[in-house]
Structure 1
Amino acid sequence: MTSSTGSPPPIRTTRVLEPEQIAMQAGRQMPFLRLPVRSLAFSDRQLRLRQLAASHPMREYLIFIADLAQAQHQVLQDYAPVELPETEALEAAAKVLKPPMPAFGWTRDAVWLKELRRLLALFRARLPEGSARDTLDRVAAADDAWIDAQADRLSRRIMFGLDLAAAPLIAAGLQAYWTHLVLQVAESAGENIYGRTDPGNECPCCGSAPTVSITRIGADEAGFRYLHCSLCGTEWHYVRIKCTHCESTKGIHFESLSPQPGVEVPATGAREGAVKAECCDSCGHYLKQVVMEKDPEVEPVADDLASVTLDLLVSEAGHQRSGHNLMLLFGEPET
């Protein structure tokens, strides 16, 4: 991707020599886990996507995902009850530092298929005629076995045999299901049922990979970094200046798009410094970080989508993305 001058946007590199000393030494405490809020999770996402889309080169796709998030929000508000794990199973998982409902091992309640089709019907009402509606109708008419097989590939991050056109639609249903499941378990057994996991870069609720990390603001969370789950939207604390892939604290540096004086970061819509890539020279991976201090309205999934230019530039520099965004997948489509 290039700028109007024909050359790629410049990137600014900041080298961090030692791990950052965050404000724990004064006995300051912060919540380890931040569960999604039913009324805000997808609503905030669709609002941010529309904001970012205003003058964005990916405007049509951002609006597409915003409309999809709006349908997710509607479904989540009155999602049907789902089968929950036994309290003993939840406690056993916590003791061995494992997520209690692993996305790649948990048997999904059949309710998820019914709610997926309801979500697609709500989304269809917002779609104009065209290929996107044709894909939606194809997914809605597909049998349960095919949809479940596609969902299994998404959960396991398997690209072979994945229908890339249908993937965001099926992923939207998975996200709504897992968000509801995590919240229903917390309502039933209490939020403390979710503990820390090993490795610490996996979601404590469903074991999925993060999309990005977010550095928060607020009395209890100011300056602390959280990883944002790509599936259920849960956030969990992860020490800053530490690779989220190999957990190394050496060779960490940040790269960001370099803005022109007095204007926003090119091709993202976010304010200057709000989106950057934390790169690890030890393992060659990176994870994007969104910073609320720079832009209080950042939303992990939305700002990750809108900053794909940064992914391209960092990848060209030799780093491999570790973040996972179910709304933007790359690979060979199903043949």
Structure 2
Amino acid sequence: MTASSTIRLMTPEEIAVGAGARAAPLRLPEPGLFAERALRLRHLAEGHAMRDYLLFAAELAQRQHEQLKQPRTLVLPNELAVGEAAAGGLAPLDALRHARDPVWREELRELVQAMAQAPLPEPARLLVQSLATADDDFLEQQAQALLAGGAPALDPATAPLIGAALQLHWVRLVQQLQARYERSDKTESLPPFSYIDDPTVCPCCGSRPVASMTRISGETSGQRFLACSLCGTQWHYVRIKCTHCQGTKGISFQQLVDEDGKKAEAVQAECCETCGHYLKQVHMEKDLQVEPLADDLATLTLDLLVGELGLVRQGFNPLLILGEPDVGHDSAPALDPPPDPGGH
């Protein structure tokens, strides 16, 4: 796409009609979520300016996968609480309302112990060692700050490991609550998860998305799903619509272009002139292996350059709070000029 390109963006209504009248189902986190993420991170790390950090994140995702395979029984909300959440249009496992089971700290300490055995660079090893001795009060304070979207009390150095433990915990919660429903008499109970009043946050845990994803498989081909930054659930959200203000006017897309003019089409930033926010969008039709959190992490340069345009990041990624890697602007790819929305 060049500066002279003119593209007419379909309206959300046209996209909805083209995608079919039936609402897309929720895509709950699958057992291989973390393994696929680890694989994608390792692939993206090859020749990347953030190679060391992407490999650290890959090790973390692999340890999450190994722990998820180990059974751990959690305290789940009762059916009355689930029903009340549904009646109120709220997520049944809302990250800020659901009482955190202290067992998440056990998940964290096991994760830290596993990471201590991984081949890590010295800064990461020191980080792991420091967190291994942290007390419960500190961990709960950090968890609350992280779940609130990065409150001022958050320690950015420990955020990725704490975030990883919370992700693991909430994936278990979603899977176990769904499994309880599957074992029940479905004629007397409603599914625990469905679309809620606020379509911009996760219908399972109420967290913000890390990115969105256009899919190409089965009945969901061509549809966009938002991917939860915490529990990994994906839920349908119409395309060409801001994920912050839900407006449909002034939507444009930015993408990276390298020094040879090659465009990084698999990841774009959907930008809203109305509210000044943006969210990344990853496209399976451009790369079958895209993974929302991994590809978001590996395209920090896109965040830096879109941020220079004055736009605010809407997506939330617990692994991006660690700090901005040294990605020099002189050698970084440029942004692809946004298209003229034409008839939109």
Normalization by structure 1: what TM-score?
0.88
Asked whether 1:311 is paired with 2:310, we answer no
Q: How far 1:29 sits from its partner (Å)? A: 3.3
Q: How far 1:22 sits from its partner (Å)? A: 2.1
Asked whether 1:200 is paired with 2:199, we answer yes
Q: How far 1:27 sits from its partner (Å)? A: 4.4
- The equivalent of 1:228 in structure 2 is 227
Pick from 30, 39, 50 the counterpart of residue 37 of structure 1. 30
1:220 counterpart SS class: helix
- The equivalent of 2:312 in structure 1 is 320
Pick from 161, 179, 187 the counterpart of residue 169 of structure 1. 161
Partner Cα separation in structure 2 for residue 223 and residue 169 of structure 1: 34
Q: How far 1:196 sits from its partner (Å)? A: 1.2
1:33 counterpart SS class: coil
In the TM superposition, 1:76-91 aligns within 5 A as 76-91=68-83
Distance 1:28 1:198, change over 3 A: closer
Q: How far 1:182 sits from its partner (Å)? A: 0.6
2:254 counterpart SS class: strand
- The equivalent of 1:288 in structure 2 is 280
| One-letter code aligned to 1:147 | L
Contact 2:160 2:322 (C-alpha < 8 Å) held by counterparts: no
- The equivalent of 2:333 in structure 1 is none
Partner deviation per Cα, 1:80-100 (whole Å, 9 max, x = no partner): 110000011111211221001
Which runs of 5 or more structure 2 residues have no equivalent in the other structure? Answer: 183-189, 325-344
Partner Cα separation in structure 1 for residue 208 and residue 200 of structure 2: 7
Q: How far 1:262 sits from its partner (Å)? A: 8.4
- The equivalent of 1:6 in structure 2 is none
Distance 1:104 1:254, change over 3 A: same
1:255 counterpart SS class: strand
- The equivalent of 1:4 in structure 2 is none
- The equivalent of 1:300 in structure 2 is 292
Q: How far 1:257 sits from its partner (Å)? A: 1.0
Distance 1:85 1:218, change over 3 A: same
- The equivalent of 1:120 in structure 2 is 112
Asked whether 1:46 is paired with 2:45, we answer no
Partner deviation per Cα, 1:38-60 (whole Å, 9 max, x = no partner): 1x110000000000001101000
Q: How far 1:227 sits from its partner (Å)? A: 0.3
| One-letter code aligned to 1:243 | C
Distance 1:108 1:288, change over 3 A: same
Contact 1:201 1:209 (C-alpha < 8 Å) held by counterparts: yes
- The equivalent of 1:217 in structure 2 is 216
Which runs of 5 or more structure 1 residues have no equivalent in the other structure? Answer: 1-9, 266-271
Count of paired positions: 315
Contact 1:103 1:208 (C-alpha < 8 Å) held by counterparts: yes
Partner Cα separation in structure 2 for residue 79 and residue 11 of structure 1: 54
Partner Cα separation in structure 1 for residue 261 and residue 309 of structure 2: 27
- The equivalent of 2:327 in structure 1 is none
- The equivalent of 2:92 in structure 1 is 100
2:281 counterpart SS class: strand
Contact 1:12 1:258 (C-alpha < 8 Å) held by counterparts: no
Contact 1:11 1:257 (C-alpha < 8 Å) held by counterparts: no
Contact 2:116 2:125 (C-alpha < 8 Å) held by counterparts: yes
Partner deviation per Cα, 1:237-275 (whole Å, 9 max, x = no partner): 001110000000111111111246685x5xxxxxx4110
In the TM superposition, 1:264-283 aligns within 5 A as 265=263, 272-283=264-275
| One-letter code aligned to 1:218 | S
Contact 1:11 1:256 (C-alpha < 8 Å) held by counterparts: no
Q: How far 1:26 sits from its partner (Å)? A: 7.5
Partner Cα separation in structure 2 for residue 200 and residue 305 of structure 1: 24
| One-letter code aligned to 2:45 | A
Contact 1:255 1:279 (C-alpha < 8 Å) held by counterparts: yes
Partner Cα separation in structure 2 for residue 70 and residue 14 of structure 1: 43
Distance 1:19 1:317, change over 3 A: same
- The equivalent of 2:61 in structure 1 is 69
Runs of 4+ with deviation above 6 angstroms? 10-15
Q: How far 1:11 sits from its partner (Å)? A: 9.1
